[in-house]
């Protein structure tokens, strides 16, 4: 929203101007070799006297230039009033213009006083009659008083006058005038206001003084090589500092303004090379600005803080350079200020949101740790975890909690060792002793077996929870399934249950822990056997998905089925299917173990069943390669 407001209201136009100016300065442009400036400079003023000079002097200049056969002569001098001191001077100038047939005169749009009415100041009628063409010499000043653009047509009441540079180019290329004298006044428009049409920015060739120039006085004296002006476009105008014909431009450096005549030379070169810069349509520029503003969302959520900041900063610089250079190379201008502001505030806003989220998470976790899991260390005078920065305090509290959790983790490992050895070993020893004293078997075998099963189930579940995925190896899953089926064969044979297998033909390679995966598959098969009816079939299937990215393993039996309500608790700790008279109770850790192992391998487990319906347990895990057996 902020990006749209800035772009549509133009509140940061000065930023846009700065980017445009950067592009104009850093991208070099080839200098045309057929444009030359005859400068009314300090040397000419010292040689010919104070300004204004007699029209006779200008007539002599035109005659001198005409003898060199130039392509066109643009006189950036306003001859709007008769010369009173020498009545014949205007006639001599008119005669020189008539003989040349290549002289272009300016039309000046000006106000007689501050905030006064705009008027068109034209040359004398006798000069207009014999001039080759005329055009406006008006430059557009932006809010920072820098001239960056022109209007192709403008005038009082109607946009009648072409640009002065366009008029000179018409004469040089023998093209007709583009002045629109046939335009009618629009009754809805004030006839005394300035009418403009087709604004274009200028592609400047170079800094002030870049175009070749020769002093006015030198031309009059003939101090130039023969052929200097032949077939050249000659622009005559003031360059002296006291002549008040100077403009600040994007390429003006160190306070050096550009003479109006050189400004027109830049406009002429841009028109001829079709390099005038046109503003992009509003709908398209808005779309691009919004897209650029949203670009940081591609990398900020995925990168750490410092790389995210660096990428955003580099992208900001890149967009600035592109925005400045696109007008130079493609003649299209898009104001980038709104997008640049969005990029500058994107990282701070994103960081603020992340810090807020991190703070809420830390507060929640610390509250949970205090209330449910551990007690944080008690603060003492020697060691305090309260800081001036509240966020640092939270970090230290989490660090203390982490130390406690590591302590509990070590304690858990010691507990597992105790269960696996100190508790499990006596139970196994007691069971072996029972075999030597059969008279005690009915009373003690069942509880001891259940205790052993609970210890082993808890041990395996804990190992699954602590599984290190970094130590996974490549495993042939088809071979693993075959081995699990073979290991369950004797148990199935005791219940006259047939193990039917339909496995994919080939080798399916997965990344995992062989021992834990084997026990998980074996648990699924033994469960199907355990809850399946006597003299039935347990169907085991293995197939690879069409995209060859995952493998599906399923086990189906025809037992009593599992209700929808019971299915919700199947994979939780110590949950069991309600036993019937024929099935002994378990410890409720088998399916929890299977689910934990499969999820650690990036897979998922599911069940499909209902009362008095077949039951199918299936699991899906990703594969790294499938190698089908070649047909012979």
Per-residue pLDDT tens digits for 221-275: 999 998 999 999 999 999 998 787 889 999 986 668 999 999 999 999 999 999 9
pLDDT at 6: 81
Q: 179 and 323 share a domain? A: no
Residue 385 lies in a domain: no
Query: What is the helix (H) or strand (E) element at residue 57, kind and residue range?
Result: helix 55-66
- Classified as helix, coil or strand, 254 is coil
Residue 300 lies in a domain: yes
Q: 19 and 139 share a domain? A: no
Buried b (16+ CB within 10 A) or exposed e, 465-489: eebeeeebeebbbbebbeebbeebe
Is residue 354 scored above 70 in pLDDT? yes
Q: 323 and 271 share a domain? A: no
CB–CB of 482/511 below 8 Å? Answer: no
Q: 96 and 158 share a domain? A: yes
Domain boundary among 464, 479, 506: 464
Which of 126-130, 156-160, 232-236, 519-523 has the highest mean predicted lDDT (pLDDT)? 232-236
Q: Is 209 left (phi over 0), alpha (psi -120 to 50) or beta?
A: left
pLDDT in tens, 410-431: 656 666 655 555 555 666 666 6
Q: What is the mean pLDDT of residues 267-288?
A: 91
Q: 364 and 423 share a domain? A: no
CB–CB of 233/36 below 8 Å? Answer: yes
Structure tokens at 350: 């994103």
Is residue 390 scored above 90 in pLDDT? no
Residue 8 lies in a domain: yes
Gap between the Cα atoms of 125 and 127, Å rounded = 5
Q: Which long-range contacts (CB under 8 A, 24 or more apart) does 468-476 make?
A: 469/600, 471/513, 472/511, 472/512, 472/513, 472/601, 473/511, 473/512, 473/513, 473/514, 474/509, 474/510, 474/511, 474/624, 475/509, 475/510, 475/511, 475/512, 475/514, 475/517, 476/507, 476/508, 476/509
Q: 412 and 436 share a domain? A: yes
Domain boundary among 412, 438, 464: 464
pLDDT at 235: 96
Contacts of residue 268, Cβ cutoff 8 Å, sequence gap at least 6: 35, 165, 166, 168, 169, 233, 235
Q: 55 and 2 share a domain? A: no
Residue 104's alpha-carbon distances to 74, 98, 218, 355, in angstroms, are 5, 11, 22, 67
Q: 202 and 87 share a domain? A: yes
Residue 402 lies in a domain: yes
Contacts of residue 86, Cβ cutoff 8 Å, sequence gap at least 6: 54, 55, 56
Q: 192 and 46 share a domain? A: yes
Structure tokens at 453: 């099963």
Gap between the Cα atoms of 98 and 132, Å rounded = 9
pLDDT at 252: 84
Residue 611 lies in a domain: yes
Contacts of residue 466, Cβ cutoff 8 Å, sequence gap at least 6: none
Q: 476 and 621 share a domain? A: yes
Buried b (16+ CB within 10 A) or exposed e, 176-202: ebbbeeeeeeeeeeeeeebbbeeebbb
Gap between the Cα atoms of 140 and 148, Å rounded = 7
CB–CB of 597/464 below 8 Å? Answer: yes
Q: Can you state the percent helix, strand and coil of the chain, rounding each to 5?
A: 45, 20, 35
Domain boundary among 234, 250, 276: 276
pLDDT at 581: 43
pLDDT at 382: 42
Backbone angles phi, psi at 555, to 5 degrees: -130, 130
Q: How confident is the model at residue 376 (pLDDT cuts 50, 70, 90)?
A: very low
If DSSP states are collapsed to H, E and C, what string results for 574-625? CCCCCCCCCCCCCCCCHHHHHHHHHHHCCCEEEEECCCCCCEEEEEEEECCE
Domain residue limits at 587: 469-628
Q: Which of 531, 539, 523 is nearest to 495 (CA)?
A: 531
If DSSP states are collapsed to H, E and C, what string results for 79-136? CCCCCCCCCCHHHHHHHHHHHHCCEEEEEEEEECCCCCCEEEECCCHHHHHHCCEEEE
- How many structural domains does the chain have? 4
CB–CB of 627/549 below 8 Å? Answer: no
Q: 21 and 42 share a domain? A: no
pLDDT at 380: 40
Residue 7 lies in a domain: yes
Looking at residue 502, which CATH number applies to its domain?
Answer: 3.30.565.10
DSSP 521-545: HHHHHHHHHHHSPTT-EEEEEEEE-
Q: How confident is the model at residue 184 (pLDDT cuts 50, 70, 90)?
A: confident
CB–CB of 561/580 below 8 Å? Answer: no
Q: What is the pTM of this model?
A: 0.62
pLDDT in tens, 568-589: 777 776 566 554 444 445 556 6
Q: How confident is the model at residue 463 (pLDDT cuts 50, 70, 90)?
A: low
Residue 340 lies in a domain: yes
Q: 443 and 345 share a domain? A: no
Gap between the Cα atoms of 340 and 569, Å rounded = 54
Structure tokens at 471: 């130590």
Residue 544's alpha-carbon distances to 507, 547, 582, in angstroms, are 10, 8, 36
Alpha carbon 18 to its chain centroid, in Å, reads 22
Task: Report the residue count for the chain.
Answer: 632
Residue 281 lies in a domain: no
Is 356 buried (19+), middle (13-18) or exposed (0-12) by CB count in 10 A? exposed
Structure tokens at 92: 């001599």
Structure tokens at 412: 């858990």
């Amino acid at each position: 929203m902020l990006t749209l407001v800035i772009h549509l209201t133009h509140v940061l136009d000065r930023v846009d101007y700065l980017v445009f100016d950067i592009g104009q300065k850093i991208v070099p442009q080839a200098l045309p070799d057929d444009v030359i400036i005859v400068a009314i400079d300090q040397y000419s003023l010292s040689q010919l006297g104070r300004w204004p000079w007699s029209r006779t002097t200008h007539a002599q200049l035109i005659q001198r230039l005409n003898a060199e056969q130039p392509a066109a002569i643009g006189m950036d001098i306003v001859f709007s009033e008769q010369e009173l001191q020498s009545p014949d001077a205007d006639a001599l100038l008119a005669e020189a213009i008539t003989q040349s047939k290549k002289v272009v005169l300016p039309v000046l749009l000006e106000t007689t006083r501050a905030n006064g009415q705009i008027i068109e100041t034209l040359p004398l009628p006798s000069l207009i009659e014999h001039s080759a063409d005329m055009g406006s010499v008006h430059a557009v000043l932006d809010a920072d008083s820098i001239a960056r653009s022109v209007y192709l047509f403008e005038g009082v009441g109607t946009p009648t006058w072409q640009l002065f540079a366009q008029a000179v180019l018409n004469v040089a290329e023998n093209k007709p005038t583009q002045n629109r004298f046939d335009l009618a006044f629009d009754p809805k428009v004030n006839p005394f206001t300035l009418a403009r049409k087709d604004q274009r920015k200028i592609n400047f060739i170079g800094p002030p003084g870049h175009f070749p120039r020769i002093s006015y006085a030198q031309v009059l004296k003939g101090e130039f090589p023969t052929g200097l002006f032949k077939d050249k476009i000659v622009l005559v105008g003031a360059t002296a500092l006291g002549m008040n014909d100077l403009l600040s431009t994007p390429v003006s450096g160190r306070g050096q303004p550009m003479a109006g005549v050189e400004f027109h030379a830049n406009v002429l070169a841009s028109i001829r090379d079709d390099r005038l810069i046109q503003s992009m349509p509003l709908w398209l520029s808005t779309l691009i600005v919004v897209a650029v503003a949203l670009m940081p969302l591609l990398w900020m959520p995925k990168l750490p803080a410092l790389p995210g900041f660096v990428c955003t900063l580099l992208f900001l610089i890149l967009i600035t350079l592109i925005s400045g250079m696109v007008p130079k190379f493609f003649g299209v201008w898009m104001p980038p200020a709104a997008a640049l502001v969005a990029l500058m505030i994107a990282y701070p806003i994103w960081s603020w949101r992340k810090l807020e989220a991190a703070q809420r998470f830390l507060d929640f976790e610390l509250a949970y740790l205090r209330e449910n899991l551990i007690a944080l260390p008690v603060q003492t005078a020697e060691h305090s975890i309260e800081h001036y920065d509240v966020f640092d305090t939270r970090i230290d509290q989490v660090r203390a909690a982490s130390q406690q959790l590591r302590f509990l983790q070590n304690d858990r490992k010691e507990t597992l060792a105790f269960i696996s050895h100190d508790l499990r070993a006596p139970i196994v020893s007691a069971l072996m002793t029972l075999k030597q004293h059969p008279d005690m078997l009915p009373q003690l075998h069942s509880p001891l077996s259940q205790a052993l099963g609970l210890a082993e189930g808890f041990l395996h579940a804990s190992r699954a929870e602590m599984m290190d995925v970094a130590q996974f190896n490549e495993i042939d899953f088809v071979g693993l399934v075959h081995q699990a089926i073979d290991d369950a064969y004797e148990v199935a044979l005791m219940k006259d249950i047939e193990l039917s297998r339909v496995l994919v033909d080939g080798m399916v390679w997965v990344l995992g822990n062989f021992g834990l995966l084997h026990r998980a598959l074996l648990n699924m098969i033994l469960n199907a056997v355990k809850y399946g009816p006597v003299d039935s079939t347990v169907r085991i299937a293995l197939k690879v998905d069409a995209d060859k990215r995952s493998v599906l393993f399923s086990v189906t039996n025809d037992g009593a089925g599992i209700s929808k309500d019971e299915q919700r608790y199947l994979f939780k700790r110590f949950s069991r299917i309600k036993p019937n008279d024929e099935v002994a109770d378990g410890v409720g850790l088998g399916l929890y173990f299977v689910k934990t192992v499969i999820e650690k391998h990036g897979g998922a487990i599911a069940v499909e069943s209902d009362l008095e319906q077949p039951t199918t347990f299936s699991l899906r895990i990703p594969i790294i390669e499938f190698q089908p057996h070649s047909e012979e």
